[in-house]
């Protein structure tokens, strides 16, 4: 039986580094079909929250739930296979591999190991990101904006149900930001749960359904909003 999709939730997460509480009782819901945005100043704890949600780090207390299942103690690769994907602020693409092969690694990390499955995932991600024309180029030869899209493609290649995106618009030009806005909107409409850490407030206001503000390890403000219209070009 397929479990009911409720998305990803943090319940009272605590993570301390020495005397600093990077997370001080953080609860957050990232439901399917919506873009949930997280903002806040440097050092607020956003990256720590991402690491605890993705499984790169364990919280000292609290729970992480995926579709109601407690995944707090599951390793990152198991979470990836359950449908959780993330992108990194510091790009995690392999510069020596082609764009297509970077996407293939993303598909394989999410458990799409048969060549047929992986080929299908690569072709779909190339199409979604508009990267067909650079499919055989070495990633290391491409500009930052294209690499940022490839970083997203690497996460999408595994066909995740939950996407954690750490500043996906950093370094994108206006056209690339527009493509990103349309793509994230379509992914949410398709039923995916999207968590977006982003400093571009204009982008957040246009596409997010809710905005949570984090300060000093706590989410101290949450607001619901109607996403603004995305340009149809």
Ligand X SMILES: Nc1ncnc2c1ncn2[C@@H]1O[C@H](COP(=O)(O)OP(=O)(O)OP(=O)(O)O)[C@@H](O)[C@H]1O
The reply to whether 185 sits near ligand X by the rule CB under 6 A is no
φ and ψ at residue 137, rounded to 5 degrees: -80, 145
Q: Which of 7, 28, 39, 45 binds ligand X (CB under 6 A)?
A: 45
The reply to whether 47 sits near ligand X by the rule CB under 6 A is yes
The reply to whether 212 sits near ligand X by the rule CB under 6 A is no
The reply to whether 221 sits near ligand X by the rule CB under 6 A is no
Q: Which of 7, 13, 39, 46 binds ligand X (CB under 6 A)?
A: 46
The reply to whether 87 sits near ligand X by the rule CB under 6 A is no
Nearest one of 92, 111, 11 to 52, comparing CA atoms = 11
Per DSSP, which regions of 6-124 are E strands?
8-17, 20-30, 34-39, 61-66, 69-70, 84-86
The reply to whether 95 sits near ligand X by the rule CB under 6 A is no
Q: What is the smallest separation between the CB atom of 94 and ligand X, expressed in angstroms?
A: 23
User: For ligand X, which is the closer residue by CB, 36 or 48?
Assistant: 48
**Cα 192 versus chain centre, distance:** 11
Length of the chain counted residue by residue? 233
The reply to whether 54 sits near ligand X by the rule CB under 6 A is no
Alpha carbons 230 and 179: distance in angstroms, whole number: 10
The reply to whether 40 sits near ligand X by the rule CB under 6 A is yes
Q: Return the residue matching tokens 């790009």.
A: 91
Q: Residue 9 is encoded by which pair of tokens?
A: 């939730």
How far CA 163 is from CA of 37, 45, 178, in Å, comes to 12, 18, 19
Q: What is the smallest separation between the CB atom of 29 and ligand X, expressed in angstroms?
A: 19
Residues in the interface with ligand X (CB under 6 A) total 11
User: For ligand X, which is the closer residue by CB, 49 or 71?
Assistant: 49
Binding residues (CB under 6 A) for ligand X: these are 17, 20, 22, 40, 42-48
């Amino acid at each position: 039986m397929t479990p009911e999709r409720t998305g990803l939730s943090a319940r009272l997460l605590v993570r301390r580094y020495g005397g600093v509480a990077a997370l001080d009782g953080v609860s957050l819901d990232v439901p399917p079909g919506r873009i949930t945005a997280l903002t806040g100043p440097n050092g607020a704890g956003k990256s720590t929250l991402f690491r605890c949600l993705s499984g790169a780090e364990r919280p000292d207390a609290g729970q992480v739930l995926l579709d109601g299942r407690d995944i707090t103690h599951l390793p990152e690769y198991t979470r990836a296979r359950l449908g959780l994907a993330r992108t990194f602020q510091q790009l995690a693409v392999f510069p020596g591999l082609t764009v297509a092969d970077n996407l293939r690694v993303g598909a394989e990390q999410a458990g799409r190991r048969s060549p047929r499955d992986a080929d299908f995932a690569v072709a779909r991600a190339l199409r979604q990101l508009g990267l067909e024309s650079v499919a055989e180029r070495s990633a290391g030869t491409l500009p930052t904006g294209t690499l940022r899209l490839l970083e997203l493609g690497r996460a999408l290649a595994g066909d995740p149900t939950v996407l954690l995106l750490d500043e996906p618009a950093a370094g994108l030009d206006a056209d690339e930001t527009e493509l990103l806005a349309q793509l994230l909107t379509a992914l949410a409409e398709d039923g995916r749960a999207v968590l977006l850490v982003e400093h571009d407030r204009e982008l957040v206001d246009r596409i997010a359904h809710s905005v949570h503000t984090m300060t000093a390890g706590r989410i101290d403000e949450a607001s619901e909003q109607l996403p603004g219209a995305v340009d149809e070009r």
